[in-house]
């Protein structure tokens, strides 16, 4: 028997309900508005009053409208077909909705249950299994998609029967499992999971030790993010947060990308699903869209579903992680999610914390970031979720609750700088303020020194020192004037400019410069440092600046040319000639 | 629209400056009511206690005021007859013309399914190089002018609107001074464009809370022309700061906990609901929004411009350039996020590089100027930068420029060649070979 209730109060999308029976925190219910069912989630219970946040506009709702509770939390449907899909925050398929305008109460299924897949069993009758163990595999596009023991199955099971290799519908029974009590449970390719609960089913979560390549030099070279790591990008508007995230989505070497467009501009999402089906993933040569799932709840869509969208996206990531995949989750922007929490907390007239955000904001954010990580599965394989979130600090001021709470939770910090953006130095990641805590992990440094270059960490530190010195000198020159500092200072400043122009700045819209594989990053950094380490004997600071401007120009032309191609080699030869190398 | 069964109430429970509350049955969320003849909207229902926001304010409303519920949210009659007409915040004509016959539509309707949108990719040329060259506008875009109250933002906006190649221009004026209202009217009439213009106006003489209806009214009309008629519609919203102020008045009267700058916590969502109506529809129609957000002494960290900046696709800054004595579009702080959709694709291939190089050299000039002001010697390069900056400001950034985009690009190349060597510009070699003015 489902619990029921009636509406007794309405303020915007916060509705109070008098219910009979039992309801659970976060339980889903549907409010009947003249036959249209509005989905809502319980966020507070007091006596027999339930406070629910409605995922739709409440226009026209009346006192006395009836409500039916569903007996479960907000769930997502997991199975083959998630990739290439475009969902709203509640996992409704946006592509199958009719009409140009969103209709209230229209919910579309996340997956096509009737779609046929070629299934190959991996387990056999008699095998002992537990939740999230692999039973078989289908090809989702070109990616192997594991069909697993549903995450909700508690305890140990024995495979009673499993279908032979062949073509089956997603909803067909593919296996029967017997639990310890001897009860049989049927399994299809589809399962459901509540989004606010982290998926378990792994042995351990070790410290990340490998680096996730993003193709963005200022990240990979200076402050790399680990596979299974967390990072965040705070920045005022107009500093290129979204362009940077899209660049990472396009060029990172993750196998699966989930993009959560949370409370952001609709046209940015349009850009993703217009361009991704055309763009080729440089690592696999396949279309980017084939490895991507988009969860979008743009800023004009209902606020409550905005909060749900990041959880929906994370749960989809965890599903693929359990298949042993390398997953990257990009959420833009987590501030909008925090604002959604604030709006609700405000309507419930809770006592506010800083800037009127709910007091448990910090805990909510760190819980969410903790769902990222690399895991060792029961079969010894590993899967990972790397999470990069953007933060939109109010007024560009990093001393605000969302940024501060996120800083505690995320290990990489990519600070976008207004002054760099004003100078059109993109990506505007500040090389001095940003950091990657993963560089403090000996295993990560060892990985870099083995994989990239045996002196890699040393070279990177050398470059960072030059950048830092250059910044100090720049300030001194501003105070003392060009003549007020020795020529050697000018030389150091221009070396830092060289690193800035050639390594840090990257043209996200140039077909070649937009992504730089690690091998090329290593080559260019070494070359830049070779130029920096040469002895120069400048007589005047003008001589110094004009020389370096020419060097910068040549090396930028190299960045625009095919790696080690004809043009690239030609510019390099010119460069060597200029600095007097053979 | 009047329901015969609708009961009339005559006892108010409480009255604030912007809201009244009363006990009533069967009331719908968001529906309109008349309180002593003034239009009001339901904003909160608790059991049988209903709170109404009275748009015209509650001055003089007695506790025994007659309250009649109208059974539906605010609406507008839409048809082609809207063209050339002037309306108030309620959609009633203020130009002496007849009421509009047409389809009855609720304002503040649903959002477009993001999947059904098309990527904005049609250029809207304005002739102003500070916009077309550096911050190109695209149909379906939403972009505000961030301006100080003393800057000529309404004039620039009217100029942009009249030059833009669009089918309809819809003006949403909020807290417009009567003089500015007349200015718009004259500018539109003078250009002979009145038949493609529709105006919804709330002047400073009218109650501030009424403004809250203006954007939704304007956008409801815009959706009719863009979606139903596949037309290119440009919506002008001025001044959104006064709109946000009205929001804060209402939320304050409802005892909501304010967030930053005493704005309601929902400011971001409230503004996004308006701006996100900008859209490129699949069948060719589009809604482009150009808005004005006035700043307090250039402070963009205030909650209103700050939230706006996160929602809109860029922002345009006006600045008085002391070197040339002209008002220019500030190249550093202005940004059009959608320009990448058209630059080099709908315009000449060298557009991107000419744009970036010009701005970079202008930044070098700004540095040189700082050096000069601090009393340091300038290098030869610095001096050339300063000369370049004056020319650049005069010939390209000033808002009185009116030339084609190709002319802007050619002007750019001319200026580069006049003051710099190819290496100093750092432009891709293949463009240098093709376009450098020898």
Tell me the chain A residues in contact with residue B375 when contact means C-beta distances shorter than 8 Å: 481
Please state, as a whole number, how many other Cβ atoms lie within 10 Å of the Cβ of residue A389. Answer: 29
Question: pLDDT-based confidence at B77, cuts 50/70/90?
Answer: very high
- What homologous superfamily is domain A202-437 in, according to CATH? P-loop containing nucleotide triphosphate hydrolases (3.40.50.300)
Residue A239 has pLDDT above 70, yes or no: yes
User: In the prediction, which pLDDT does B5 show?
Assistant: 55
Question: pLDDT-based confidence at B60, cuts 50/70/90?
Answer: very high
Nearest CA in chain A to B44: A11
ipTM of the complex: 0.88
Which of A537 and B255 is assigned the larger pLDDT?
A537
* B34: helix, strand or coil: strand
| Residues B176 and B205 both lie in one domain | yes
CB contact under 8 A, B428 and A560: yes
What is the overall mean pLDDT for chain B?
92
| Residues B288 and B400 both lie in one domain | no
Per residue in A103-145, pLDDT (tens digit) is 998 999 999 999 999 999 999 999 999 999 999 999 998 899 9
| Residues B149 and B262 both lie in one domain | yes
What secondary structure does DSSP assign to A421-489, as a single string? HHTT-SS-B-TTT-EEGGGG-HHHHHHHHHHT-TTHHHHHHHHHHHHHHHHHHHHHHHHH-GGGS-HHH
Option in B30, B310, B340 nearest A237 (CB): B310
Per residue in A481-492, pLDDT (tens digit) is 888 899 999 999
CATH match of A456-578 with 1.10.1140.10: yes
Nearest CA in chain A to B422: A553
| Residues B96 and B156 both lie in one domain | yes
| Residues B46 and B94 both lie in one domain | no
Option in B29, B332, B374 nearest A10 (CB): B29
Nearest CA in chain B to A394: B306
| Residues B32 and B156 both lie in one domain | no
Strand partners for A386: A328
- Answer yes or no: is B133 within a domain: no
Q: Which residue range forms the structural domain that includes residue B376?
A: 351-435
- Answer yes or no: is B299 within a domain: yes
Per residue in B158-175, pLDDT (tens digit) is 988 998 889 999 999 999
Show the tokens assigned to B392.
Answer: 């650049």
| Residues B374 and B393 both lie in one domain | yes
Show the tokens assigned to A28.
Answer: 């889903």
Instruction: Tell me if B220 sits within 8 A of B78, measured CB to CB.
Output: yes
Question: pLDDT-based confidence at A396, cuts 50/70/90?
Answer: confident
User: In the prediction, which pLDDT does A379 show?
Assistant: 95
- Answer yes or no: is B225 within a domain: yes
CA distance B394 to B390: 6
Nearest CA in chain B to A266: B114
CB contact under 8 A, A273 and B115: yes
Q: How is chain A split into domains, by residue range?
A: 4-73, 112-189, 202-437, 456-578
Show the tokens assigned to B63.
Answer: 């506790």
Residue B3 has pLDDT above 60, yes or no: no
* A362: helix, strand or coil: helix
Tell me the chain B residues in contact with residue A271 when contact means C-beta distances shorter than 8 Å: 119
CB contact under 8 A, A424 and B381: no
Count of structural domains, chain B: 3
CATH at B197: 3.40.50.12240
Determine the average pLDDT of the residues in A200-211: 95
| Residues 6+ positions from A511 with CB-CB distance below 8 Å | none
Please state, as a whole number, how many other Cβ atoms lie within 10 Å of the Cβ of residue A312. Answer: 27
Residue A12 has pLDDT above 90, yes or no: no
* Count of pairs with CB atoms under 8 A, one residue in A, one in B: 214
CB contact under 8 A, A270 and B114: yes
- Answer yes or no: is B156 within a domain: yes
Nearest CA in chain A to B134: A424
| Residues B265 and B368 both lie in one domain | no
User: In the prediction, which pLDDT does B245 show?
Assistant: 94
- Answer yes or no: is B207 within a domain: yes
User: In the prediction, which pLDDT does A526 show?
Assistant: 96
What is the overall mean pLDDT for chain A?
93
CB contact under 8 A, B46 and A8: yes
Per residue in A421-473, pLDDT (tens digit) is 878 899 999 999 999 999 999 999 999 999 999 999 999 999 999 999 999 99
Determine the average pLDDT of the residues in B356-367: 92
Residue A330 has pLDDT above 80, yes or no: yes
Option in A63, A266, A550 nearest B423 (CB): A550
Show the tokens assigned to A207.
Answer: 């410290």
Domains A202-437 and A456-578 share a fold: no
| Residues B82 and B160 both lie in one domain | yes
CB contact under 8 A, B47 and A237: no
- Answer yes or no: is B1 within a domain: no
DSSP-derived letter for residue B219 is H
Tell me the chain A residues in contact with residue B356 when contact means C-beta distances shorter than 8 Å: 424
User: In the prediction, which pLDDT does B6 show?
Assistant: 66
Q: Which CATH number fits domain A4-73: 3.30.1330.10, 1.20.1250.20, 2.40.10.170, 1.20.810.10?
A: 2.40.10.170
- Answer yes or no: is B317 within a domain: no
Per residue in A47-66, pLDDT (tens digit) is 999 999 999 999 999 999 99
Mutate to test the interface with B, among A241, A259, A300 (most CBs of B within 10 A): A300
Give the gap in angstroms from C-alpha A3 to the nearest C-alpha of chain B: 21
- Answer yes or no: is B335 within a domain: no
| Residues B288 and B369 both lie in one domain | no
CATH match of A112-189 with 2.40.50.100: yes
User: In the prediction, which pLDDT does B1 show?
Assistant: 43
Give the gap in angstroms from C-alpha B359 to the nearest C-alpha of chain A: 8
Give the gap in angstroms from C-alpha A46 to the nearest C-alpha of chain B: 15
Determine how β-strand A256-262 pairs with β-strand A326-332: parallel
Per residue in B302-347, pLDDT (tens digit) is 999 999 998 999 999 999 999 899 999 999 889 898 998 999 999 9
Residue B70 has pLDDT above 90, yes or no: yes
Determine the average pLDDT of the residues in A557-575: 95
| Residues B92 and B210 both lie in one domain | yes
CB contact under 8 A, A392 and B120: no
User: In the prediction, which pLDDT does A49 show?
Assistant: 95
CB contact under 8 A, A336 and B268: yes
Q: What is the dihedral of CA A554, A555, A558, A564, to 10 degrees?
A: 110
Boundary residue ending a domain (B261, B296, B312): B312
Residue A581 has pLDDT above 70, yes or no: no
Tell me the chain B residues in contact with residue A339 when contact means C-beta distances shorter than 8 Å: 265, 268-269
Q: Nearest-CA neighbor of B344 among B336, B353, B357? A: B353
pTM across the whole model: 0.92
Per residue in A336-394, pLDDT (tens digit) is 999 889 888 888 888 888 888 999 999 999 999 999 999 999 999 999 999 999 999 88
Q: What percent of chain B has pLDDT over 70?
A: 99
> Taken in order B261, B262, B266, B270, is the CA torsion positive or negative?
negative
Determine the average pLDDT of the residues in A315-321: 98
Residue A253 has pLDDT above 70, yes or no: yes
CA distance A477 to A494: 12
Question: pLDDT-based confidence at B2, cuts 50/70/90?
Answer: very low
| Residues B262 and B193 both lie in one domain | yes
Which of A361 and B253 is assigned the larger pLDDT?
A361
CB contact under 8 A, A346 and B265: yes
Question: pLDDT-based confidence at A200, cuts 50/70/90?
Answer: very high
Please state, as a whole number, how many other Cβ atoms lie within 10 Å of the Cβ of residue B187. Answer: 18
User: In the prediction, which pLDDT does B253 show?
Assistant: 81
Boundary residue ending a domain (B69, B87, B120): B69
């Amino acid at each position: 028997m489902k619990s029921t209730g009636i509406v007794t109060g309405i303020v915007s999308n916060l509705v109070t309900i008098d219910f009979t029976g039992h309801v659970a925190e976060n339980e889903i219910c549907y409010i009947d508005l003249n036959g249209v069912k509005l989905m809502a989630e319980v966020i507070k219970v007091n006596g027999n009053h339930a406070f629910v946040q409605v995922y739709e506009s409440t226009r026209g709702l009346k006192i006395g409208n009836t409500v039916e509770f569903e007996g479960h939390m907000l769930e997502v449907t997991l199975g083959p077909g998630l990739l290439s899909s475009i969902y709203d925050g509640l996992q409704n398929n946006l592509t199958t909705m009719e009409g140009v305008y969103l209709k209230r109460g229209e919910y579309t299924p996340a997956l096509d249950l009737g779609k046929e897949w070629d299934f190959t069993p991996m387990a056999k009758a008699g095998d002992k299994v537990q939740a999230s163990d692999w039973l078989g595999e289908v090809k989702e596009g070109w990616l192997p998609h594991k069909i697993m023991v549903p995450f909700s199955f508690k305890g140990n099971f024995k495979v009673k029967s499993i279908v032979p290799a062949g073509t089956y519908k997603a909803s067909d029974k593919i296996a029967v499992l017997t639990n310890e009590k001897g009860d049989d449970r049927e399994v299809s390719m589809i399962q459901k999971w509540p989004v606010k609960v982290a998926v378990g089913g792994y042995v351990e979560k070790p410290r990340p030790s490998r680096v996730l390549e993003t193709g963005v030099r200022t990240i990979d070279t200076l402050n790399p993010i680990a596979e299974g790591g967390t990072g965040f990008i705070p920045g005022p508007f107009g500093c290129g947060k979204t362009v940077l995230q899209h660049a990472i989505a396009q060029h990172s070497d993750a196998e699966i990308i989930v993009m959560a467009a949370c409370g952001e501009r609709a046209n940015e999402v349009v850009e993703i699903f217009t361009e991704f089906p055309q763009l080729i993933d440089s690592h696999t040569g396949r279309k980017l869209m084939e490895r991507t799932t988009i969860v979008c709840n743009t800023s004009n869509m209902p606020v409550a579903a905005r909060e749900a969208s990041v959880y929906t996206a994370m749960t989809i990531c965890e599903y693929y992680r359990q298949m042993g995949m390398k997953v990257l989750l990009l959420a833009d922007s987590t501030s909008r999610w925090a604002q959604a929490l604030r709006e609700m907390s405000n309507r419930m007239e809770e006592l506010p914390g800083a800037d009127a955000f709910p007091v448990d904001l910090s805990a909510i954010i760190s819980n969410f970031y903790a769902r990222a990580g690399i895991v060792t599965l029961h079969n010894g394989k590993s899967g990972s979720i790397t999470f990069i979130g953007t933060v939109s600090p109010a007024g560009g001021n990093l001393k605000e609750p969302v940024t501060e709470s996120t800083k505690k939770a995320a290990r990489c910090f990519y600070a976008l700088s207004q002054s760099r953006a004003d100078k059109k130095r993109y990506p505007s990641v500040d090389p001095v303020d940003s950091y990657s805590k993963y560089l403090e992990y000996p295993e990560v440094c060892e990985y870099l020194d083995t994989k990239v270059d045996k002196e890699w960490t040393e070279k990177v530190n050398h470059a960072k020192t030059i950048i830092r010195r250059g910044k100090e000198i720049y300030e001194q020159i501003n105070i003392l004037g060009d003549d007020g500092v020795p020529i050697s200072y000018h030389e150091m400043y221009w070396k830092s400019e060289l690193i800035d122009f050639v390594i840090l700045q990257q043209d996200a819209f140039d077909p070649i410069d937009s992504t730089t594989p690690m091998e090329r990053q290593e080559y260019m950094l070494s070359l830049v440092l070779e130029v920096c380490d040469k002895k120069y004997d400048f007589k005047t600071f003008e001589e110094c600046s004009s020389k370096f401007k020419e060097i910068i120009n040549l090396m930028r032309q190299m960045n625009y040319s095919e790696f080690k191609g004809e043009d690239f080699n030609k510019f390099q030869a010119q460069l060597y000639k200029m600095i007097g190398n053979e | 629209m009047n329901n015969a069964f609708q009961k009339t109430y005559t006892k108010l429970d409480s009255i604030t400056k912007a809201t009244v509350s009363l006990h009533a049955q069967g009331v719908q969320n968001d529906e309109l009511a008349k309180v002593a003849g003034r239009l009001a909207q339901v904003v909160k229902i608790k059991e049988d206690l209903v709170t109404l926001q009275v748009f015209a304010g509650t001055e003089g409303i007695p506790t025994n005021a007659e309250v009649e519920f109208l059974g539906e949210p605010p609406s507008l009659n839409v048809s082609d007859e809207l063209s050339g007409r002037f309306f108030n915040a309620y959609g009633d004509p203020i130009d002496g013309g007849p009421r509009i016959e047409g389809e009855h539509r609720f304002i503040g309707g649903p959002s477009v399914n993001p999947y059904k949108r098309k990527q904005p990719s049609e250029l809207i040329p304005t002739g102003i190089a500070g916009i077309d060259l550096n911050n190109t506008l695209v149909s379906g875009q939403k972009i505000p002018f961030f301006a100080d109250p003393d800057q000529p933002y309404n004039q620039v906006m009217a100029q942009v609107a009249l030059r833009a190649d669009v089918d309809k221009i819809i003006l949403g004026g909020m807290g417009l001074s009567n003089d500015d209202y007349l200015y718009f009217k004259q500018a539109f009439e003078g250009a002979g464009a009145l038949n493609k213009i529709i105006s919804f106006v709330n002047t400073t003489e009218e109650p501030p809370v009424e403004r809250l209806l203006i954007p939704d009214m304007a956008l409801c009309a815009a959706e009719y022309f863009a979606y139903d008629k596949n037309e290119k519609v440009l919506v002008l919203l001025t001044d959104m700061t006064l709109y946000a102020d009205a929001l804060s008045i209402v939320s304050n009267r409802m005892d909501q906990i304010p967030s930053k700058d005493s704005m309601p916590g929902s400011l971001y969502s409230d503004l996004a609901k308006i701006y996100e109506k900008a859209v490129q529809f699949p069948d060719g129609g589009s809604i482009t929004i150009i808005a004005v957000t006035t700043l307090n002494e250039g402070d963009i960290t205030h909650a209103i411009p700050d939230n706006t900046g996160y929602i809109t696709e860029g922002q345009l800054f006006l600045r008085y350039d002391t070197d040339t004595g002209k008002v220019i579009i500030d190249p550093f702080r202005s940004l059009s996020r959608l320009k990448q959709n058209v630059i080099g694709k709908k315009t000449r291939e060298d557009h991107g590089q000419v744009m970036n190089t010009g701005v970079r050299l202008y930044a070098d000039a700004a540095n040189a100027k700082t050096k000069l002001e601090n009393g340091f010697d300038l290098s030869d390069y610095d001096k050339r930068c300063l000369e370049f900056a004056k020319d650049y400001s005069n010939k390209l950034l000033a808002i009185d420029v009116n030339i084609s985009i190709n002319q802007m690009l050619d002007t750019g190349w001319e200026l580069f060649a006049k003051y710099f060597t190819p290496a100093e510009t750092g432009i891709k070699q293949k463009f240098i070979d093709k376009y450098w003015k020898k």
